[in-house]
Amino acid sequence: MTYSTILFTIVDAVATITLNRPDKLNAVTDAMHAELRDALDRVANDDARVLVLTGAGRGFCAGQDLGQRRGGELPDLGETLDKLYNPLIRRLRALEMPVIAAVNGVAAGAGMSLALAADIVIAARSASFMQAFARIGLVPDAGSTWFVPRLIGPARARGLALLAEKITAEQAEAWGLIWRTVDDAALLAEIDALATRLAAAPTLALARIKRALDLAEENTLDGQLEQERMFQSELGRSADYREGVAAFLDKRPPVFKGR
């Protein structure tokens, strides 16, 4: 598939998807959804071990392209969520590798949800986050009503969703919405270093860590103890665990294969 709304590369096990409609702050169109589906197929089936999601130009993603929603016969938005956004968010969460969102600029509406679906969110200091939905008469979607209260608590989640005000990257970091904020000029280098590090990490273990933390949102302590037992049993038989232990005992850096 030829891409016109995203850029996609896999280099040294680091997959990078760059949303690429900079003149519209990378607002998401149906075409972009199709290209994202295709790229995520390639991420899952190729030798990638980490995914970086970022935006071209001065925005990360301004959410749904509202140009596709003006007048005429409007689609059932429940259906667009069902067919487009919800599968995208589920896919990112279920990806068996770490997903980094490199938030280079404003992340609004479903663009903010997209960023929060990542495992690690690093934002440029000039970036911002906005639950824009209420401004146009919608409820936060693409997972925002799930992610935001869990990350920053109900009081702040309600304020953000009901007032639909922009917050700075620094505020987002202070509230625990994201991992960290870095100077704009440092974002690329920071993301490169982190992605390189994660691409050499024990990928299978990282995949199970992601899953365990997701399951913990719903599980009882007993259920979660059992889940940890099952994952540990699997990982205890992995090549990377053997390598991790051997490297520790040999006092050398481990060489993980991701299996």
Interface residue with ligand T3D, options 55, 109, 202, 258 (CB under 6 A): 109
61 CB neighbour count, 10 Å cutoff:
30
Nearest approach, Cβ of residue 101 and ligand T3D (Å)? 16
When the beta carbons of 44 and 138 are compared against ligand T3D, the nearer one is 138
Interface residue with ligand T3D, options 14, 25, 157, 182 (CB under 6 A): 25
Nearest approach, Cβ of residue 76 and ligand T3D (Å)? 9
Contact code string over 56-75 relative to ligand T3D, x by CB under 6 A:
------xxxxxx-x------
Contact code string over 160-199 relative to ligand T3D, x by CB under 6 A:
----------------------------------------
- Under the binding rule (CB under 6 A), the answer on residue 213 touching ligand T3D is no
- Under the binding rule (CB under 6 A), the answer on residue 24 touching ligand T3D is yes
Among the listed ranges 33-41, 105-113, 171-179, 222-230, the one in contact with ligand T3D (CB under 6 A) is 105-113
- Under the binding rule (CB under 6 A), the answer on residue 31 touching ligand T3D is no
Sequence-distant (≥ 6) Cβ neighbours of residue 35 within 8 angstroms: 1, 3, 4, 5, 6, 8
Instruction: Choose among 82, 184, 67: nearest CA to 125.
Output: 184
Contact code string over 115-154 relative to ligand T3D, x by CB under 6 A:
---------------x-xx-xx-x--x-------------
- Both structure tokens of 105: 């600029």
When the beta carbons of 32 and 182 are compared against ligand T3D, the nearer one is 32
Q: Which residue is nearest to ligand T3D (CB)?
A: 63
Distance CA 46, CA 185 (A): 31
Nearest approach, Cβ of residue 103 and ligand T3D (Å)? 13
Q: Where are the beta strands (DSSP E) in 125-178?
A: 128-130, 166-168
Q: CA angle, 104 as apex, 102 and 110 as ends, to 5°?
A: 80
Among the listed ranges 40-48, 102-110, 190-198, 214-222, the one in contact with ligand T3D (CB under 6 A) is 102-110
For CA atoms 5, 81, 172, 13, give the dihedral sign.
Answer: negative
Sequence-distant (≥ 6) Cβ neighbours of residue 105 within 8 angstroms: 25, 55, 57, 58, 59, 60, 124, 126, 127, 128
Q: What is the radius of gyration, based on Cα positions, of the chain?
A: 19
When the beta carbons of 32 and 43 are compared against ligand T3D, the nearer one is 32
In one-letter notation, the amino acid at residue 230 is M
Instruction: Spell out a b/e string for 175-193, using b for 16 or more CB atoms within 10 Å of the CB, else e.
Output: bebbbebbeeeebeebbee
Whether residue 50 contacts residue 198, with contact meaning beta carbons closer than 8 Å, is answered with yes
Which residues contact ligand T3D by CB under 6 A?
Answer: 24-25, 27, 62-67, 69, 77, 80-81, 85, 106, 108-110, 130, 132-133, 135-136, 138, 141
